[in-house]
Every structure is written in C-alpha cells, then in structure tokens.
Chain A
Amino acid sequence: MFMSEIKIDGVQAIINANKHLEGALLPILHGLQDQYGYIPEVAYQPITEALAITLADLKGVISFYHFFRTTPPAKHVIQVCRAEACQAMGGRQLEAHAKQKLGVDWHGKTLDQQFQLEQVFCLGNCACAPAVRVGDEVIGRVSPERFDALLEELQTEVVEVKL
C-alpha cells in the first residue's frame, strides 16, 4: 500500500532522482503517485523550482491526465473498462452493477474508504472482456457475480494483513 506520511525529504528525493531526465515532469509525478497514492500539494513548489516551470504549468499538466490524483485514494481503486470490446460482452451491465453495488458514481469512494470506482478506456484485455483492474492486476470475463467475489477477496486480504 501507499505510504501515508508525507515528508518533504521523501518528496525532494523523488524529484532529485528524476530531474536530470529529458522531459522529467511525468517521471516525477509518477514517482510521487507511486509512493503516496497521489500528488501532494507540498511537492508543487519543489517541482516548479527543480524544473524551472511555473505553478500554472504544473497544475496544467497534472489536471490534463486522468491518471494523476491530487487527493488520497481509497484503499482499493477499482478500474472498470468502459471501451467497446467490453461493451460487446456486457460491460454496460457491469458498469451499472459496480456503481449500484458500491453506491458511488465514477471517481466516487465508499464511505468506509475501502473502495474507489474509476472508469478506464481499454486495458488491452479485449479478448476476455469485460475487464477490471485493481492495482497491477487485470481480471478478465468479469460478470457481476465475479465482481462481487472480487470485492470479497479484496476485503479478505485486508483481514489477512492485520493478522
């Protein structure tokens, strides 16, 4: 899981590790989101200084890409594919089921902060649609029942970690 505590030293270390790269901004933003789960505001000024860009430049880039977040995510981010190959295999029904089951719309988090629902346009799993992604894992042929089982598995994992 992501590190919850954000220290400026850690932020600066990620910036320093990448700032020499050609086109360093995306690698820096990825590094921060990998570490903290989102782009913390405390990183803005050090980034602009390291890359000699303005705050407007930085915010323009962060807001352009669907992937980058500026607030902490829920424990499990569930990405449901909305693209055509999944639609052809019941993707629309899966979308509706996921929203109803979690009680949220796209980008929404459950009240207990366990799940966050995100739309994604194609996971490249079009041969076994519909597809869902959690972390780096992609799951194929996701029926509503399989989706419910996935939620169960994810919650069970939480218990295992605590033991």
Chain B
Amino acid sequence: MSRIFISLDTTSNSLGANELAAWFARNHADVDVVRTGSRGMFWLEPMVEVETANGRVAYGPLSTKELAEAVDQGLLQGSEQPSSYLGDIEQHPYFASQQRLTFGRVGLVNPMSVDSYIQHDGYQGLANAIVKGDQAIIDDVKASGLRGRGGAAFPTGIKWQTVADCAADQKYIVCNADEGDSGTFADRMLMEGDPLSLIEGMTIAGIAVGATKGYIYLREEYPQAYKILNAAINDAKAKNWLGDQIQGSAYSFDIEVRLGAQAYICGEETSLLNSLEGKRGEVRAKPPLPAIEGFLGKPTVVNNVISLASVPTILAKGGDYYESFGMGRSKGTMTFQLAGNLKQTGLVELAFGITLKELLTTYADGSYSGRPLKAVQVGGPLGAYLPESQWDTPMDYESFMAIDAMVGHGGIVAFDDTVDMGEQARFSMEFCVAESCGKCTPCRIGSTRGVEVIDKIRSGDNPDQNKELLADLCDTMFYGSLCAMGGMTPYPVRSAMNHFEADFDKKEVH
C-alpha cells in the first residue's frame, strides 16, 4: 500500500491541502494518507510527499486537477514526470541549509501520535530529565543560553530557578501561546506539527521547578492548533507521558489548553495570567514577578511555545550542544518567519546571526509582487520598520536593540514600494487604540491622539509642529506605559517617521 504525507497546517489547508486529502479518500482509498505538520515552505503548498524505497519524494504546489494528472503520471511511484516534482524536499536549498533543532520533527511526524513522536526520538529529553532531577535540569537550561522566544528574551534558566527557589504548595507552568504578532506563525506551526515537543518541554519544566499543573493559553484565532493540541495531550495521557507518576517515576504533571478571546494584550504575561484567572486581561504592575506571584498568586513559569519546545532538545543533547549555535549573547537557533510581500514565504530555523538581507534574498528570493522592497517590519506590530540601509544588521537580540529595533518573536513582514509608510504609522496607533487594555493613560488616550496627530500631519495641517508633537507623544507613551503595548508602539511610528518622512507629506490630489 502506498503511503503519502499531506500537511494539516492551517496555512496548507488555507491553500487547499484538505482538498488533496479528500481527493485521495474519494479516488484512491487504498492509499494511506498521513497528515503531518508543514515543512514551512508555503509557496510549494499544498504539497504531497510520497514514501518510496529511496525516501520521501515531494510534489507541489498542487490543485486537485493537477494532482489527478500527476497520479496518472506515476506520482504514487515517485515518478519524476509530473511538472510539480520536487524530489527530496530535505535536499531543497531552502530546507537543507537550515538548522532545525526545534522544528526537526515538524512535517515528519503524525502530530497526534506519541508512537510517531517516539519513533522520531521524542521523549528522550524527558527520560533524561527524570533521571537528572530538578537542579540539574535547570543547570542544563542555564548552560544552553536559551532566552525567551516570545520577544522579551529573558534567560529561561534564571526564570526557572526563581520559581524553583520559591516554597509553595502549588506551582504552575503556563505556556504563552497567544501568538498575536502579525507576521508570526512559528508557535502555530509547532503546535500543529509537533505539539508533543511543547508538551514534553512543559513536563520537563514542571519537574525542574516542582510544578504539577500546566496550562497552554492559546489564542482563539487558532482553532486547528486547539484540536491538535488536545488530541496530542489525550494520547500522552493514555500512554502515561502525562498524569500521575509519569512512566513509573515520582513525578506527576497535567496540562490543560485554555482559549483566549481575541485580545492582543493577553500575549503580555501578566495580562495573560489575569485572563487565565477569568478576569479582564489588564496588565499587572511588576513586581511581584509572575515567577513569585503568578497564576492565582502562586509561583508560575510563563514561557513562550518555542522556548518550551526547545527544552527537549537541550535535555536530550545537552546545554552545551544548544549553546554552540548562535552568536554573542543570542544562543541557539531562532525560528524566523518570512511573511507579507515575499516570494518564498515560510519558516526558517537558523542560528542567530544571519542578516536580514540574507533572509530576504537567499531564502525569500525577493518580493512576491516583483517590485522592489521598501520596508521590513521585524518583531510584530510593535517592531520597527527597517529601511534597506539597515538590512545588513545581524539577526540577534543585541544588534537589533542597538538600532532601536527588536527581533521579538522572529516575524519578518516585507512591503514593496507601493506601501505608504505614513499610513503604516497611523495603523500602528490605530492598532494600539483597538488593543490597549486601558490601564495606562499614555497608551489608552495617547494612541487615539496619535491617530489624530498623524492625520493632521498627512493633511498638511501645521506639519512641522505636529511632527514635534508626535515625537513628544511617542516619548510619553514610551516612558509612561507599564507594558510593551504602549511602550513600544512608538517603535514602528518613530522608525516610519525617521526613515520614510516623505510619506507623511500631504498627498497632492491630481
């Protein structure tokens, strides 16, 4: 019986992967269709991979009509004849050059099967962790140099140590899966393609700090991830990789998935904790740190999906191994996400240090529209817009901070030369109006003022004075907001003003 692999990833499905699977069910019920995560090469999706004696052979992108033709031409035998033939996708330069430490299994495994996970070296990290015990796990994570991949880049090992050092009757591991930044989808791809690596990472964290309960706070916008996470958790429970006395050890740990309700601010950790408690997602003042007083006032690890999913590799291969990737104080790999107006969009996992230009040219191969690229926003809606003169900056936390930008969660959104940067700056303020939790005045009201002032500049109403006012407003928001929502909205606005000032001029009407 032939076996083929089709992605069940949201983006693959948004391009027709489900239709390809349905085509096989209708026309070739004898074929074993395995649904996997995506390889993260979305310009080639929807893709079909066929298992052959010489490994997997890929075809894509395919419509159902093209699929029918390709099957007639020998797709199921791995024939080179169909025009959609790609060969071994892992030999494709886009993929072969990557360093997939965290995404190694995505696209290979059945995400909802513990058996499939273990066949691909899953649960080796947890097996080691059970033997090592709490402090040795934390020492490994510290040695790895892993820093929070959600955007704030705080050292994960130090956060875990703080929680471990707290005495409490109950502690929690909370996974921040509220991936709201535009241009980011790594968390989603991981949760849809290899959720057990996240589940394993959370379990290891639980053993390390003495927590027995974990929550995944998942954004409502990810219904596919919700289904797959729950299926994976259920299989892990059935096979005693979650629950009481995991694999006969002294450790117990359980995980529950909770849905957000479309509020960007709930990606901020204290706001997330309030939401998880059933409250308005308003930001909390720090201190106390969540590590000391977090969910329901108990010591809580709050980590991003990719941070937690990186832990199994660290425990399986050692902190030193992970630390050998990267540069400066940015260790390990980063999952860059190429989005927006780019030809070869997708996920690229590489050691820190590659330049933005290499990602835009070597990987993305330029713009989708064929027009010249003009601006690139890195790090989500609170990240700076970078002009071409800054594209040589290495992608690492410190180098980006040095140019008033941030790597954040690794999202890269490219715009071609038709973009109006005045309009983008206005949108940044408008987004802040829509998503501010309302706690801090500079964010709540400042953002509305920001929209008004930018409108005045763009309509030619005292532009010089209003530009000064906008700069002043950005300072107020930057210094006067509790969290990154109000504090960092000035980044895209200022960068648009500094690098693309002409776009703020009044448009001549012809």
Contacts and interface: CB of A to CB of B under 8 A. Distances in A.
Contact of B419 (A21, A23, A88): A88
Interface in B154-212: 179-185, 188
B413 A84 contact: yes
B263 A23 contact: no
Contacts of B278: 23-26, 51, 61
Contacts of B295: 22-23
Interface string A133-150: 100111111000000000
Contact of B221 (A29, A65, A89, A120): A120
A128 B276 contact: no
Interface stretch (B135-143, B235-243, B339-347, B475-483): B339-347
Q: Which of A25, A84, A89, A123 has the most chain B CB atoms inside 10 A of its CB? A: A84
A89 B368 CA distance: 9
B466 interface: no
A64 B281 contact: yes
Contacts of B448: none
B220 interface: yes
Contact of B341 (A60, A89, A137): A89
Interface string A16-32: 00000111111101100
A122 interface: yes
B341 A88 contact: yes
A140 B278 CA distance: 33
B406 to A, nearest CB: 15
A82 to B, nearest CB: 8
A49 to B, nearest CB: 15
A124 B14 CA distance: 11
Nearest to B256: A21
A86 B260 CA distance: 22
B279 interface: yes
B415 interface: yes
Contacts of B337: 126-127
Contacts, number: 156
A129 B340 contact: yes
Contacts of A89: 340-341, 368
Given A29-B261, A64-B263, A65-B263, A125 B223 contact: no
Interface in B260-287: 260-264, 275-282
Nearest to B226: A136
B114 interface: no
A136 B275 contact: no
Given A124-B188, A125-B10, A125-B14, A61 B279 contact: yes
A127 B221 contact: no
B109 interface: no
Interface in A101-158: 120-129, 131, 133, 136-141
B249 to A, nearest CB: 25
A23 B15 contact: no
Interface in A82-108: 83-89, 92
Q: Which of A23, A26, A27, A124 has the most chain B CB atoms inside 10 A of its CB? A: A124
Nearest to A66: B262
Interface string B311-338: 0000000000000000000000000011
Interface stretch (B125-133, B427-435, B453-461): B427-435
A44 interface: no
B299 interface: no
A21 to B, nearest CB: 8
B13 interface: yes
B224 A65 contact: no
B263 A66 contact: yes
Nearest to B259: A30
Q: Is the interface of B mostly helix, strand, loop or mixed?
A: mixed
B377 interface: yes
A29 to B, nearest CB: 7
A48 B253 CA distance: 31
A67 interface: yes
B188 A127 contact: no
What range describes how many residues of A lie at the interface?
35 or more
Given A61-B278, A66-B263, A87 B181 contact: no
Contact of A127 (B42, B222, B261, B424): B42
Contacts of A121: 180, 182, 262, 264, 381, 431, 434-435
B414 interface: yes
A37 B282 CA distance: 25
B346 A127 contact: yes
Contacts of B13: 137-138
Interface in B2-18: 10-11, 13-15
B118 interface: no
A92 B420 CA distance: 12
B281 A88 contact: no
A108 to B, nearest CB: 17
B296 interface: yes
Interface string A45-78: 0000001000000001100111110000000000
Contacts of A30: 220, 259, 261
B340 A88 contact: yes
Contacts of A26: 258-261, 275-276, 278
Q: Which of B182, B260, B339 has the most chain A CB atoms inside 10 A of its CB? A: B182
Q: Which of A22, A30, A67, A131 has the most chain B CB atoms inside 10 A of its CB? A: A22
Nearest to A84: B182
Nearest to A28: B278
A21 B296 CA distance: 12
Contact of B413 (A85, A123, A138): A85
A124 B10 contact: yes
B411 interface: yes
A136 B261 contact: no
B221 A84 contact: no
Nearest to A138: B14
Given A64-B280, A125-B10, A85 B183 contact: yes
List 9 A-B pairs, minimum CB-CB distance, nearest first.
A25-B278, A83-B182, A88-B340, A140-B14, A65-B261, A126-B339, A127-B345, A67-B261, A67-B262
8 contacts: A30-B259, A64-B437, A67-B220, A83-B182, A120-B262, A123-B10, A126-B182, A133-B221
